[in-house]
Amino acid sequence: MTASTALETYLAIAPRSAEEHVLRLLIELGAQVVGASEGSLLVYDEPAKELVFALTVGGAENVLAGQRVPLNKGLTGLAAVTREVQIGAPTYREIRQAEGRSGSGDGSPEAVMAAPMLVADSLIGVITAVSFEPGKRFTGTHAELYGRIAAVAGVVVDQKRRLDAIARLGAEKLGPGERTPEHQIAEIVARLACLAPGALPRVARLLEEIEGLVSAGGSP
């Protein structure tokens, strides 16, 4: 399974899409800031209870793509189970690494950091940073940063799902009398998302103002 296939299969994020680009930038940024050799995004295969390498920066994407980590195995699997950022020396050594890496004696990284990606309370994946530099250690400050990056990545996936749901609702073929006001609003928002995505923030603010008026007992 390639990286693009994994992203599309488990997160519905198409190759070369804006969402894939943003996720890649987040992983690149995180890896650079903490001085990691590689950064990866692993998606959660819920039926198999495994994490699948879906996106890697640092030159090892072709090697890592499609490899799997069982839940609760190593720091990456532990981050998925505990929903907390994990840092330390690697404890799961079944991942095949790219040639030419130094690291420890068996070629595994010297240091690993893993942060869970969540949408609401649901696990969707884990982002990792690894270093092959002798003596390298990630810190609590690094962990806090990676936790925030993972949260932003979760928002990207969540917003993609919401837009897809709106588009599907707006695309429904309804018979006479079946188009409710909810469908009409969804169709308008879906068209705006396609034709003028820059207008969506203004639409969101307007809807929030209307909601506030209704909640206060007023009328728009």
Q: What is the mean pLDDT of residues 17-36?
A: 92
Look at the block and give the residue holding tokens 């203004």: 202
pTM of the model: 0.74
pLDDT at 220: 46
Which long-range contacts link 182-190 to residues 24+ away (Cβ below 8 Å)?
190/166
On the 0-12 / 13-18 / 19+ scale of CB atoms within 10 A, 133 is middle
Instruction: Name the band, by pLDDT with cuts 50, 70 and 90, for residue 29.
Output: very high
Look at the block and give the residue holding tokens 């070369």: 16
pLDDT at 172: 58
pLDDT digits (tens, 9 = 90+) for 165-192: 777 765 655 555 565 666 666 666 666 6
Residue 200 has pLDDT above 70, yes or no: no
pLDDT at 219: 47
Residue 103 has pLDDT above 60, yes or no: no
pLDDT digits (tens, 9 = 90+) for 39-87: 999 999 999 999 999 999 987 777 888 999 999 899 999 999 999 999 9
Cβ atoms of residues 7 and 61 within 8 Å: no
Cα separation, 101 vs 58, whole angstroms: 11
In sequence order, the 6+-apart residues with CB closer than 8 A to the CB of 31 are: 37, 38, 39, 57, 58, 129
Q: What is the DSSP string of 58-105?
A: SS-HHHHTT-EEETTSHHHHHHHHHTS-EEES-----SPPPTT--SST
Tell me the residue type at 218.
G
The DSSP symbol for 197 reads: G
